[in-house]
Structure 1
């Protein structure tokens, strides 16, 4: 049971969604919980369509988005049914919790339920506001208001014909507002973001010390103190006087105090620090003077928070980070897109060691050309502007280095950065490839990498954007089942080992707790994935061989050992063969759904398909929930459509049972 799918894995996702909803509805009915299939489907879709796509990850932002934006915008149902959404979401989150599917990096069940309760009034108000609907939802609700039964085939098409003929009244003002919202805000759809690799960070105390040592942080504190509560006089143009600018430059240690200038605006480093301080509200101007902001005192006493805020607002300072190449070009090309380029560059560096600056120069220049179209007369300036963009990128890295967000070094490039230059899908144009090939062959070229502070800053931004950015050690106290589920889906093997070892080092944690979580898992495909994580992380234990006689895990263990060539099928007894066959049939039921399994059984066994299922039902397999579904959703349809024959064969592995494991993208 996977809870994350690539956008193009449409069939796999739909099968998992059907399984999840089917099981959740059954569980809810057994436990007297409110449930509704349409609203459950909406909850699953909302997370799959999100930036990170994690079906089982719910925090305050995602809960509120689902209730206050997604349901009003996308879900068409009667008001009575829509009113159930908060309770149904609670049911769904409880089911994720009791089955071990919940992503432990989100809200706990108690936290989630408190958030849902707190959003009830806002949810009712959102349903009352028709302007929050999408265009399709608006017309669907209009049809419902006209008494159209949308479940009847062809009903909506007839409604549309009446609408086109002008026979349907509707609120034009509401529709205009919906169209305006769509034009301004672009709806509620999110583009799936590329998953980020797990990263490690030093202890919080080390990060705090690093922030305090940041040259930029020290300079911002010094600048605010220099401005003081009494302030410093400004010129009529709103700039520092030259003498004051040179004085504070010497105090800040920028080296610009030795320059001969006519205006304070000729000191780029000081201009950047002044703009930065203003953006952070450390300083303000009033009545021709520059003052320290009194309310900024707590921030100035907290270097770590000051660093975080300074890193957060840096993308907004492109026009003072970049510098015009000449007086005839007042706006550097990188300045206009700095707020997009800076995060993209930092994302490219995230989770990697030193990167050649030359590689980033070419990708940044490629991005610049997507934003700006050069006229034929300007083609001669292309190389000039490319060099200007490279220069401003270097300036950006210098600023980040002063902030202590990146580290600049020199040396040879890792061969990795030249390995894809000959690929057919290389996005860089031929001239860029040749420049890179030459640059990367140099033994001593500029390199850049994120510092631990920079890694934390980028990760904080990724999380704020709703992206998945795993951190080694964050699962140290997670429940065993949830830990293994996240490792199986979101961690490369080496990082999964590190995370699992950290979990086992926590007081009171041991391998038996993990094994019990696998035994308790009600999904066969998830059991297999969890066992693989444990087997890969604990090779010295020969874990799978030790579990061959486990009464619950045995069938899943035999399957994996045979797949790995470490066990011969002939070594199993007749009963064990039957149990392993049951394991694989139940896995196919989860992956392909009842209809898919029925079709496979018919193709494989013909008229004997029902007998195959009868044998599986009598196997004694420990998956009670799966066997019940097999009986109700597979055996009964087969019984009604196939002839009975004496049982001749019980397969140990139905076709397609193993499936294909997708390679993890790094």
Structure 2
């Protein structure tokens, strides 16, 4: 992921709903309960953790039983300390007191609650990058200390790997072509980090790396689910038993149904997780827009801001923007913002046309006002005709060609060299005999670029050559050659 270009926009639930989700996240709820449970007799060790003899009482306060109860209580206490729900009152005596942040969970604003949760998330993410207990035990020296040199562990690399996985999960969730709010198979997520994009059939070595990554992620997502970041269906343990029995290092299948991808783990970001990852990405310098944040800005910000949005997100953003304005005034503001000869202007006009379709008939008066505008007249005629308006003046041939170039430039900016654009290019060249002979003369800043794109996209070599020659002429014309 590059932090220079914006990520796909996400749709966030309300801050109040997110705060409620944060308060109900099992791990934060346990941490808060322990913070209220702690008293003058509560003792901690030098690292701020509960002393061992107090773990059973902490587990009981949380209603936890079983072999893992003490470990869960210890984890919740660590989150309570890291988030400021509990403070170390006297390090030498090992005593604690309620922290200032505890009051924020009950008396603070939704944003205050989310700030506490975000801190808790960072604690859990740091824990998720640490080797599991078995690996740490194996790395202990004779004195009982962990010998890091025995671990195949690079803390920075582990943290970067997990950040990369979560970044890809965020992209898949936000992207209109991805699963949206649906679950993502764990193998696909692991492969997104391991398999090169230009690799056809993965090698056995790459497949083994993907399998190893899946097992790491399985452990990590089990840790991340209790803080409310993800909903996770773990890898079916029968798969691991089968892999061990097969003796092939994890690729055996035995009686396992290979077609049931859900058995290999399924993960989805929760609405709270989407909020949390967006906050982390923005803190790291990424542009991570959210639908609705342009609603109180001007039309110029709306048209420019939605330029990189997919059609669904652009429509949702525009609907929120229009909901705050009187229709005719909004139409006039949109048309004014759509003017321009800069490289972004064609796409602004396309977004303007799409926005005006949402305004409907109340926009008609504004569109009639710009019929003689050299940049908006073609757009106005198209809109009025599509909406059944009477007395729409016919466009001149020059205006038809200008609008064609403007539309192609907008589509090129919005979609790149897409199949839809290629079909449009082929249709234009087939329907208009002598198109290129006239098109190169069009006084539009994007004429040469559009004609060059048509030369790239058209499958017929003869037509493509015509387009390239026309592009050369257009560039010479605009350069005064």
Instruction: Give the TM interval when normalised to the shorter protein.
Output: 0.5 to 0.7
- Which residue pairs with 2:20 in the alignment? 209
Contact 2:335–2:352 (CA under 8 A) maintained in structure 1 = no
Alignment of 1:471 with 2:282, yes or no, is: no
- Which residue pairs with 1:594 in the alignment? none
Structure 2 portions without partners, runs of 5+: 140-145, 175-179, 197-204, 237-248, 387-391, 409-438, 458-481
Contact 2:129–2:220 (CA under 8 A) maintained in structure 1 = no
- Which residue pairs with 1:454 in the alignment? 273
- How far apart are residue 473 of structure 1 and its match? 1.4
Q: Distance in 2 between matches of 1:545 and 1:513?
A: 12
- How far apart are residue 218 of structure 1 and its match? 1.1
Alignment of 1:226 with 2:33, yes or no, is: no
Q: Distance in 2 between matches of 1:516 and 1:333?
A: 60
Return the match for 2:7 from 196, 202, 205. Answer: 196
Structure 1 portions without partners, runs of 5+: 1-50, 52-190, 260-266, 368-379, 413-430, 589-648
CA 1:471 to 1:410, structure 2 compared with 1: closer, same or farther past 3 Å?
A: same
Query: What SS does the corresponding residue of 1:291 show, helix, strand or coil?
Result: strand
- Which residue pairs with 2:336 in the alignment? 519
Q: Any idea what the Cα deviations from partners look like across 1:4-41, whole Å, max 9, x if unmatched?
A: xxxxxxxxxxxxxxxxxxxxxxxxxxxxxxxxxxxxxx
- How far apart are residue 249 of structure 1 and its match? 1.9
- Which residue pairs with 2:76 in the alignment? 273
CA 1:239 to 1:433, structure 2 compared with 1: closer, same or farther past 3 Å?
A: closer
- Which residue pairs with 2:221 in the alignment? 397
Contact 1:231–1:290 (CA under 8 A) maintained in structure 2 = yes
- How far apart are residue 481 of structure 1 and its match? 2.1
- Which residue pairs with 1:323 in the alignment? 133
- How far apart are residue 219 of structure 1 and its match? 1.1
Alignment of 1:346 with 2:139, yes or no, is: no
Q: Distance in 2 between matches of 1:317 and 1:499?
A: 37
Q: Any idea what the Cα deviations from partners look like across 1:493-521, whole Å, max 9, x if unmatched?
A: 11111111111112x33254234442355
Contact 2:334–2:352 (CA under 8 A) maintained in structure 1 = no
- How far apart are residue 248 of structure 1 and its match? 0.9
Structure 2 counterparts to residues 24-39 of structure 1, below 5 A: none
Structure 2 counterparts to residues 366-405 of structure 1, below 5 A: 390-405=214-229
Query: What SS does the corresponding residue of 2:281 show, helix, strand or coil?
Result: helix
Q: Distance in 2 between matches of 1:554 and 1:245?
A: 76
Query: What SS does the corresponding residue of 2:266 show, helix, strand or coil?
Result: strand
CA 1:217 to 1:238, structure 2 compared with 1: closer, same or farther past 3 Å?
A: closer
Aligned length: 366
Return the match for 1:289 from 70, 80, 94. Answer: 94
Q: Any idea what the Cα deviations from partners look like across 1:405-461, whole Å, max 9, x if unmatched?
A: 11124899xxxxxxxxxxxxxxxxxx99999xx997325422111111111111111
- How far apart are residue 214 of structure 1 and its match? 1.2
Query: What SS does the corresponding residue of 2:138 show, helix, strand or coil?
Result: coil
Query: What SS does the corresponding residue of 1:208 show, helix, strand or coil?
Result: helix
Q: Distance in 1 between matches of 2:251 and 2:372?
A: 56
Query: What SS does the corresponding residue of 2:396 show, helix, strand or coil?
Result: helix
Indicate the larger mover: 386-395 or 210-219.
Answer: 386-395
Q: Distance in 1 between matches of 2:262 and 2:104?
A: 41
Q: Distance in 1 between matches of 2:91 and 2:377?
A: 73
Using structure 1 for the length normalisation, give the TM-score. 0.45
Q: Distance in 2 between matches of 1:481 and 1:440?
A: 52
Q: Any idea what the Cα deviations from partners look like across 1:337-393, whole Å, max 9, x if unmatched?
A: 3432332222111124311122234455679xxxxxxxxxxxx9x96x976654442
Query: What SS does the corresponding residue of 1:503 show, helix, strand or coil?
Result: helix
Contact 1:405–1:450 (CA under 8 A) maintained in structure 2 = yes
Q: Distance in 1 between matches of 2:364 and 2:319?
A: 18
- How far apart are residue 576 of structure 1 and its match? 3.5
Q: Any idea what the Cα deviations from partners look like across 1:538-595, whole Å, max 9, x if unmatched?
A: 5574989994883354654537989xxx9xxxx987x93456678899999xxxxxxx
Query: What SS does the corresponding residue of 2:9 show, helix, strand or coil?
Result: coil
- Which residue pairs with 1:358 in the alignment? 187
Query: What SS does the corresponding residue of 1:292 show, helix, strand or coil?
Result: strand
- Which residue pairs with 2:299 in the alignment? 480
Structure 2 counterparts to residues 214-613 of structure 1, below 5 A: 214-232=25-43, 234=45, 240-256=50-66, 267-281=70-84, 282-284=86-88, 286-292=91-97, 294-301=99-106, 302=108, 303-318=113-128, 322-325=132-135, 327-329=137-139, 336=155, 337-350=157-170, 351=174, 352=180, 353-363=182-192, 390-409=214-233, 441-442=259-260, 444-445=262-263, 446-487=265-306, 489-506=307-324, 508-510=325-327, 512-519=329-336, 521-524=338-341, 526-537=344-355, 539=357, 541=360, 547=367, 550-553=370-373, 555-558=375-378, 576-577=396-397
Q: Any idea what the Cα deviations from partners look like across 1:91-142, whole Å, max 9, x if unmatched?
A: xxxxxxxxxxxxxxxxxxxxxxxxxxxxxxxxxxxxxxxxxxxxxxxxxxxx
